[in-house]
Amino acid sequence: MRWNSSNTAVIALTILLITVSVGAKGDPSTATSASASQPLTHATRIVYSKGDQERWSDTAFNDEDWTNFLLTGLPAEKSNYWIRNHVTLTNSDTAMPYDHAVMVGILGSYEIYWDGILIGHNGKTGDSRESEVPGTVEKIFRVPPSLYRPGKHVVSLRVSSYHSQDQLRSRHYFFVIGPYEALLKHGYQVNILPLMMQGGIIIIGLYYLIMFGFYQRKSPVLLFSLLCFAMALLIFAESYRDLFNYSYQWHWHRMMLVLGLSGIVSVLLIAFCIKRFEIPRLMPLVISATALMAGLATFEVGFDYRSYFVFAVGLVCSISIVSVARWQGKAGSGLTLTGLVITAALMLLLPYQFMDQYLFLSFGLLTLFILASLALSLRKQQDEHNAALINSSRLEIELLKKNIQPHFILNTLTAIEEWIEESPTTAIKFIDALADEFRTMSKMAHQKLVPLEQELELCRSHLKIMSYRKNIDFRLNAVISHSVNIPPAILHTLIENAITHNNYRQGSVEFKLRQRISDQYLHFVFSSPLIARKLISPKEDQAQGTGLKYINARLEESFAGYWKLEETQSSDEWITTISISTDATSHPGSAAYHA
């Protein structure tokens, strides 16, 4: 691949995205403020105990025998419990002239106490599912200035979580203290880049969907469009918690949606790589990968890990497929493989933060490389299209030359001269037949495909001329059941070859054309009476630059790779069979539909 400005732009954008995105998204419990003057404070010790006693909010209460959250997580069974967060504030923490707040994320309803004083609640705690009113997944509570003083503090939470699903009961908790404004904006700040990336991915998906609908009906184009839409939905699902603070009872449903979308993205990525690089016989791989993803999705681990493993399966399979394509030297495989390898590197280097922080970045980079790969393919197709236009113009000239060959014109004029002297009436009929053939030929010369009926009209006009010239009754017996479009003058050329290469002398000569469908091909079977001992073979005919070379070029132009031409000889007939795929004939003139 030649180095050009496109490569430079891709690399520059890649470096920019990596630089800007590092640390751009994360859990509030580990985030740091963009400004050193607005630090976030974390608990130095977090403990919990099952039960419900109001005295557990008291700062003086001794909780040395409580369970350490960092070692065990929150209670797995449905019960009431308290969490005590031990916090130490310095003079610099309390000296800043802004409002202070506590941000809490937990799958439950709770009341929050600062040194035993109630400062807020999220939902309504209860001792059963019926008495509890679910709170939101995250909430921010202002801390009264009178309570925010240097020294040690205890922030206690009285929790009930009867609406939380068992799969999530001990998984989700964070606690952080910081500037109220900074915490309030945190969700939007950490998601601005993912949402910008999402907008770009949606535009790309729409572009390729429109391209599929109106320009290139190829499965890789559709699959890439669907892949973009699926990833855009995944980014939205990942960002939904920070943007729309929903009730905690819906958190399990959101995580299931993220897991499902991760599987869909992985399957679409595998399918795209297979179709993009035309790697055959890989359906067992797709089925096996899908089954493995389904199995991994049921593992008893956190949802982020499940999504991580599911996405990893799709990535490994895709890398394997594209590596085969690269080994085979297929165009664009190098760029796609580079994007996949970068994504895999991010997954390996940052396994714990990948799904939350770097998924959108890695897929954005992967999209850039795939776009560059597709752009190279489109450029190649454009070059082939331009070459086809040149070839089409050459074939138009060839078609016109076929009917104005000097020896044909010379023989025709000589015949007209004789008939004017001997039989003026015959001369007039001959001139009319010649005019009909030229008129039909001129209509067809600039067309890539013509109706079969028009082709038959040209053939009969030519047979009429040759009947006058050779004083032989030439006829065409055509049995046609399907009206289709075919390249101009290919049947006409077969008749010309038959008359030229056979020594027809007198009487009546009948050519036969039969049409049939079998094995998903539309067959045109042309038979000519065999007078000569042996016709010129197809290879000899092409070497001489005659009829079959023109027929092959026309068929390849219109039905690239979706046609066959066979010639056989019986005791009294030469049989030429032109077979065109029924898929190709259903989209006349556009083999690109099936490439």
pLDDT in tens, 11-66: 444 444 444 444 444 444 444 333 434 578 888 999 999 999 989 999 999 999 99
- Integer Cα distance of 341 and 347 in angstroms: 10
Burial class (CB in 10 A: 0-12, 13-18, 19+), 160: buried
> What is the pLDDT, as a whole number, of residue 34?
38
Tokens 């066959």, residue located: 564
User: Which H or E run contains 524?
Assistant: strand 521-529
> What is the pLDDT, as a whole number, of residue 246?
86
β-partners of residue 485 are 451
**With a cut of 50, which residues of the chain have pLDDT below it?**
1-37, 533-545, 588-595
Tokens 């595998």, residue located: 270
The encoded tokens of residue 132 equal 């509890």
Q: Which residues contact 171 (CB under 8 A, 6 or more apart)?
A: 73, 74, 107, 302, 303
Please work out, in degrees rounded to the nearest 5, the angle formed at the alpha carbon of residue 66 by the alpha carbons of 64 and 69. 115
The encoded tokens of residue 29 equal 């419990």
Instruction: Tell me if 489 sits within 8 A of 458, measured CB to CB.
Output: yes
The encoded tokens of residue 13 equal 């954008």
- Integer Cα distance of 485 and 452 in angstroms: 6
> What is the pLDDT, as a whole number, of residue 541?
47
β-partners of residue 155 are 85, 114
Separate counts of helices (H) and strands (E) for the chain: 17, 16
> What is the pLDDT, as a whole number, of residue 400?
54
> What is the pLDDT, as a whole number, of residue 42?
87
What CA–CA distances, in Å, run from 433 to 415, 476, 493?
13, 16, 18
Angle of helix 333-349 versus helix 303-327 axis, rounded to 10: 150
> What is the pLDDT, as a whole number, of residue 47?
93
How confident is the model over 449-498, as pLDDT tens digits? 888 888 898 888 888 888 887 888 899 999 888 888 888 888 888 888 88
Please work out, in degrees rounded to the nearest 5, the angle formed at the alpha carbon of residue 211 by the alpha carbons of 225 and 223. 25
| Half-sphere CA count of 536, side-chain side, radius 13 A | 20
